[in-house]
Chain A
Amino acid sequence: MDTEKIIQELKQKFDSDIDSVLISSNKRVTVHINPDLLLSMAEYLLQTLGFRFIIASALHTRKGFETYYHFSLDNKSLILNLHVILDKKNPEIESLANMMEAANWIEREMHELLGINFLHHPNQEKLLSEGNWAEGVYPYRKNFIDNIPEDKE
């Protein structure tokens, strides 16, 4: 009930920009969005609907750099994941660190481990491996063989 109401509200506000919504259960929802929408969507979730930012997780797949931003609405037991897919060659997205301190560390970590560039991040330095890891080498990236067509994955 509450979950449906929240999804309705999001759909009304961001209608055409939401690619799809996956409702796993009453407590778990994943919203697939265009990366351009991230800032306004996150701001709406945090400031209007009262969500709390938990963390973000990124992974390297054949589609590109898939990033999940996890938000929690504590009094409704709800976790909402915003899912964006970033470009394979040049992964970049707007930083959330200017909106909240909580995103600062994890964006630095994702930059360091996967090489995702966070635009307008206040301080995109290495978090974990300062001074003991090569520049431009990203340990969590995978080596996909390019000549396998995507549909035969």
Chain B
Amino acid sequence: MSKKTIIPVGPYHPLQEEPELFKLYCDGEIVKDVKWETGYNHRGIEKLSESKTYDEVFFLVERICGICSTSHPFAFANAVEEIAGIEITDRAKYIRSFIGELERIHSHLLWVGLAGHFLGYNTVFMWAWKYREPVLDLFEMITGNRNSYAMFKVGGVRRDIENNKIPSIQKVMDELKKKTDLITGAVMDDPVIHARTKGVGVLTKEDIIDFAAVGPTARASGVAIDVRKDDPYAAYPLVNWKVITAEEGDVFAKAKVRLLEMYESISIIEQCTEGLKKEKEGDITVKVKEIPEGMGTGRAEAPRGEVFHFVISDGSNSPVRHKIRAPSYTNIATFKKSCIGQTISDATISLAAVDPCYCCTERLASVYDIHKGERIMNAEELIKASVDKTRGLQKCDLS
């Protein structure tokens, strides 16, 4: 009789910055079964939402995830606007889609980098994270923040993207296209990546339907679901783009889908900026009187898949029930299918392939010179440096 060994991945593990425990039951090198423990990070957000006003809930749901921090406010806005029957202005629609797509680019770049790192291909990691920086700078220029942009509210957006910023945006996009070519080439043409990812962690179409998986995980297995096309919202019906799919269902297919989606996102952003030029500046909100009694479902396509918000209102200023389903909730469960029968080293990249949601919002308190041990900057000076940088970027100075 063979002896099974349990290999724990987590709750704190270099592979995953967020706490979650996976127990791999292995026979030799082969994973035979997997069990997990979640709930290390349960914050009771659904319950908390019932005690906040509709305006405050936006700031709350933005903090569910540090990477796709716009997808939750996006879905929540869709849900509340459905209850109240609000139609937002075209300029606000373009700004919403613009932010959504820019977020998709930075999230996919982050994933490509991490996937490269897990495979031991650190050049891709360095490149992807380096070229993600201008995208975050663009966010800082437009919204004042690298993450958690606070752009959304019921009836529109909080800040405008002034037309004089469009040339700087275009400059970043032009540069990004070249860098995306570079990274796509590095991933698609590399024999080592092929060897490590092709035929690894395969999810069939039936698996996707059984687990109701969404986003690039589903699209890489030939299930062409994308809320932006299926249940169009914001400016997505106003621009041209296509849903990227692949048939193989392995880790390579998931990487391919994400990389090609970045080109579509760049194209959507360019079309949105063209749209912005036609609309009147400052026309970004409609007046909202009250949220009537009723229920609404809002969906948005986050970088990882469909985000679903279900809101029940009793006519007061806060929701009675607010159910949130993030895409990783269904995608992580597919690990049971994708990693059994794999070797331990392949199991880790199979997990990373669904892009489980990590948070990257660490902050420094002070900076020391490592040679002399002297403090160079304290917290106030750091905050000042950060504010100065944001102000510099907001003057369209992206140098």
Contacts and interface: CB of A to CB of B under 8 A. Distances in A.
Interface of A: 24-25, 27-28, 30, 52-55, 57, 59, 68, 70, 72, 74-75, 77, 79, 81, 100-102, 104-106, 126-130, 132, 139-140
Interface string B282-301: 00000000000011010100
Nearest to B40: A128
Contacts, number: 78
Interface in B279-321: 294-295, 297, 299, 306, 308, 310, 312, 320-321
Contact of B330 (A25, A102, A128, A132): A102
Nearest to B330: A102
B308 A70 contact: yes
B211 interface: yes
A144 to B, nearest CB: 14
Contact of B38 (A72, A79, A127, A140): A127
B360 interface: no
Interface of B: 37-39, 42, 44, 46-47, 82, 209-212, 225, 230-232, 294-295, 297, 299, 306, 308, 310, 312, 320-321, 323, 325, 329-330, 333, 336
Given A75-B230, A101-B210, A129-B42, A55 B308 contact: yes
B230 A102 contact: no
Most buried by B among A24, A52, A127: A52
Given A101-B210, A130-B39, A57 B225 contact: no
Interface residues of A, dominant DSSP: mixed
A140 B47 contact: yes
Given A77-B232, A129-B42, A140-B47, A52 B212 contact: yes
A102 B211 contact: yes
B209 A52 contact: yes
B325 A54 contact: yes
A130 B376 CA distance: 45
Contacts of B231: 27, 72, 74, 77, 79
B47 A77 contact: no
A127 B39 contact: yes
B312 A59 contact: yes
A124 B212 CA distance: 19
